[in-house]
Amino acid sequence: MSTSVSTYGRIGETERAAFRAGPVDEESAGRLATNGLDYRRIAVDSDEYVGWLQSVARGFQDGERTAEQIAATRERSGYRRLTGVFDPESPMDAPVATIASWLGELTVPGEAMIPSCAISAVTVAPTHRRKGVARAMLEGELRAAQAAGIPMAMLTVSESPLYGRYGFAPAAAGASWTIETKRAGWIGPQPAGRIDFIGRERVRELMPALHERVRHRHPGEIDVPGSHWDGFAGTNPAAEKTAEKRAVQYSDAAGEVRGVAVYAVRENHDDFTKATVSVHYLLAETDDAYAALWRFLLELDLVAEVHAGELSVDEPLLWMIADQRAAKVSVRDHQYLRIIDVVAALETRRYGGSGTLVLDVSDSLGIASGRYLLEVDGRGAARVRILGDGESIDAPTVALGVAELSATYLGGVSLATLAAAGRVTVTDASAGASADALAKATRVLGWHTAPRLSIWY
Ligand SMILES: CC(C)(COP(=O)(O)OP(=O)(O)OC[C@H]1O[C@@H](n2cnc3c(N)ncnc32)[C@H](O)[C@@H]1OP(=O)(O)O)[C@@H](O)C(=O)NCCC(=O)NCCS
């Protein structure tokens, strides 16, 4: 994988397999070994996989997995690199800590894609917590990704304070909506296509293809592993509550399917007119599909409230209802990014402005630190060069941590906002910290649309 190209092609299975098969990081393995712990990869088809999965379930306060759940998850886990930390003194045949990762495609501003190491299943047993095990695994996985030439890492979090220390920052926020249906009042388009109920297998068949056609348009989207589609569609035989899922498709006037929504209804026995709908996933390829599916959900009989989590912060839906106060929207951090290769990351995305900046990046792990010259041309394409010691450039200098740079990467937050929050400083060679330099730097690094949310687990 090159680190000085401005576009990446699709990631092939060979690259994905090579990443899965790569060794664990030696530095972390050595550090854990001094504490009597063994850090090693686990094959998905091995006996150790069972203990690994049970440790993950316990780590997230879930119950023990049944044989059926283990078989179904095993069958769907081939895309992941699995690692465990074992304590030879432990009486149980299971790791005391777990981590999983896979090579994914993250859409960045400008409809380009950057290969990213997606990290999940981070758990440390309560018996081994707060001894630096998670730190060793996170640092280890980042160094393994760096060694494999992967320019970016990404994850979602159970708790916000966990990952900033490793250089991650929230880059795409998610919104949770609760809509009072009777109050909302549909004023959006009323497309000419049709809505039909479909079964789970049909959902499973439609969603990947639809998503494949839309994900390149929205910064923040990722390619979704098949197991996740099984989760949304309810086609994983071991999944719970699949029977409650209902699904509809939207076909346009020409009969092409352009969107799918999966939802569940909870009835209210005290008042049958006050059922609640939870939208699990709404995927729309066209504006018409988006409008038609939301209208369908908001106008369901006997439904008083529609809940939808993990929406984007900039949903057109808000402008399709007559009473915006019918919607209670709460926004929170969702997708976290961590730039590993600054040159590759900055050259891959596109920019809303043009100009020249120096980025003075600090990184406590030493992975991304350095001074970088970013030159963005009139088409929003960038060239990036690592500056030599003492090399001085007549351009605004932005001093920031790798977390802050990662936060700006998808366009989810501006440099001006981070500067006002005291998280970055922008200086000008002649005028020091000036409003002009900040405005210029903010324009260069900016992007004109909010990132879309990727949904993953
Ligand atoms: C979160 C978890 C993985 C931490 O594991 P751990 O081995 O105890 O973490 P470490 O000892 O390596 O701690 C590393 C750093 O994180 C901090 N930290 C750990 N857990 C934290 C928490 N819940 N909140 C805030 N900080 C935390 C530590 O203080 C330490 O800080 P420092 O190195 O900067 O001094 C573990 O508690 C766990 O499994 N929790 C339940 C599952 C979960 O939420 N996983 C995360 C999924 S996104």
pLDDT in tens, 85-109: 999 999 999 999 999 999 999 999 9
Of the candidates 296, 207, 298, 190, the one whose C-alpha atom is nearest the C-alpha of residue 257 is: 207
Dihedral angle computed from the Cα positions of residues 145, 157, 138 and 385, in that order, rounded to the nearest 10 degrees:
50
CATH superfamily placement of domain 13-155: Gcn5-related N-acetyltransferase (GNAT) (3.40.630.30)
| Ligand 1 centroid, distance to 104 Cα (angstroms) | 25
Residue 396 has phi, psi (to 5 degrees) of -55, 140
| Ligand 1 centroid, distance to 328 Cα (angstroms) | 32
Beta-bridged to residue 100, according to DSSP, are 82, 120
- Predicted confidence at residue 3, as pLDDT, reads 35
Distance CA 321, CA 318 (A): 6
CA distances from 315 to 176, 221, 297 (A): 11, 15, 15
Residue 355 CB less than 6 A away from ligand 1? no
Neighbours of 281 (CB within 10 A): 21
Beta strands in 198-294 (DSSP E): 245-251, 257-266, 275-284
Residue pointed to by tokens 């209802």: 321
Reported as a single tens digit per residue, the pLDDT across 254-301 is 999 999 999 999 999 999 999 999 999 999 999 999 999 999 999 999
- Predicted confidence at residue 454, as pLDDT, reads 67
| Ligand 1 centroid, distance to 453 Cα (angstroms) | 25
- Predicted confidence at residue 457, as pLDDT, reads 47
- Predicted confidence at residue 356, as pLDDT, reads 96
Distance CA 279, CA 424 (A): 38
Residue pointed to by tokens 């917590």: 129
- For the entire predicted model, the pTM comes to 0.96
Q: What kind and span of H or E run contains 343?
A: helix 342-348
| Ligand 1 centroid, distance to 167 Cα (angstroms) | 15
Amino acid sitting at position 15: E
> According to CATH, where is 3.40.630.30 located in the chain?
13-155, 186-320
Atom 3 in ligand 1: which residue has the minimum CA distance? 123
pLDDT < 70 regions, the chain: 1-6, 453-457
Residue pointed to by tokens 């250089």: 167
Angle at the Cα of 179 (from 214 to 294), degrees rounded to 5? Answer: 35
- CATH 3.40.630.30 holds for 186-320: yes
Question: Domain 336-445's class?
Answer: alpha beta
> According to CATH, where is 3.30.1050.10 located in the chain?
336-445
CA distances from 242 to 344, 410, 455 (A): 42, 34, 18
